[in-house]
Amino acid sequence: MAGCDEAGRGALLGPLYAAAVILDPARPIPGVDDSKKLSAAEREELAEKIRAKAVAYRVVAITAAEVDELNVYEASRVGMLRALEALDPAPQFILTDAMPLSAGADSEAFPIPHRAIIHGDARSVSIAAASILAKVGRDHHLDELARVYPQYGLEKNKGYGTREHLAALARYGPCAEHRKTYQPVKDLLLPLFPFSQPA
């Protein structure tokens, strides 16, 4: 059974990360929980253990441009599908954190049996493990982007719309990694591209 989750849906900047994990029941990992309930140090330690003990795992990134093109909901679904399709061995059953894997109402469109669970990262250890890997992977990437774009304080806010990030956005404008369809960024771009307003 695979668990699947994403990180970064609400961020204004940077990619969305998705992860899929098949845990080994014979090799339990104490302390695995919803990534939002863990400190950064706890996530790092657990991510290392998950990578060492899992039967299989994959972490993928959906770029900011893809998020803008697809919309964040669809980007989350696509990211999970890419992570799941890269698992070896393939899972026989999949649990996701509230995300249906099939587009539209046809739940049979996705060939592997699956179930979306509300608050799944708090109810399933497999989903929680995926949430940790996605969060740690994304945080590492944002630390790299912080060196490229030091003006936004990404090492602290990880691309989310904190007061400091919004102030920097207003002062310096958006960079190539900002999600152009997200409202605070869109509001800054609209005066520059008024033709993008709906008729």
- In whole angstroms, give the CA distance from residue 152 to residue 175: 10
The number of angstroms, rounded, from the C-alpha of 28 to the middle of its chain's C-alpha atoms is 24
C-alpha 139/C-alpha 137 separation (Å) is 6
Omega before 184 within 30 of 0, i.e. cis: no
pTM for this one? 0.91
pLDDT tens digits, one per residue of 126-172: 999 999 999 999 999 999 999 999 999 999 999 999 999 999 999 99
d(CA 81, CA 132): 18
* pLDDT class of 198 with cuts at 50, 70, 90: very low
The superfamily (CATH) of domain 2-147 is Ribonuclease H-like superfamily/Ribonuclease H (3.30.420.10)
The dihedral of CA 90, 92, 97, 103: what is its sign? positive
Phi then psi for 67, rounded to 5 degrees? -60, -45
Q: Tell me if 120 sits within 8 A of 98, measured CB to CB.
A: yes
- Read off the pLDDT of residues 75-107 as tens digits, 9 standing for 90 and up: 999 999 999 999 999 999 999 999 999 865 444
- How does 31-67 read in b/e, with b if 16+ C-beta sit within 10 Å? ebbbbeebeeeebeebbebbeeebbbbbbbbbebebb
Question: Please, what is the end-to-end C-alpha distance for the chain in angstroms?
Answer: 48
Average pLDDT, the chain: 92
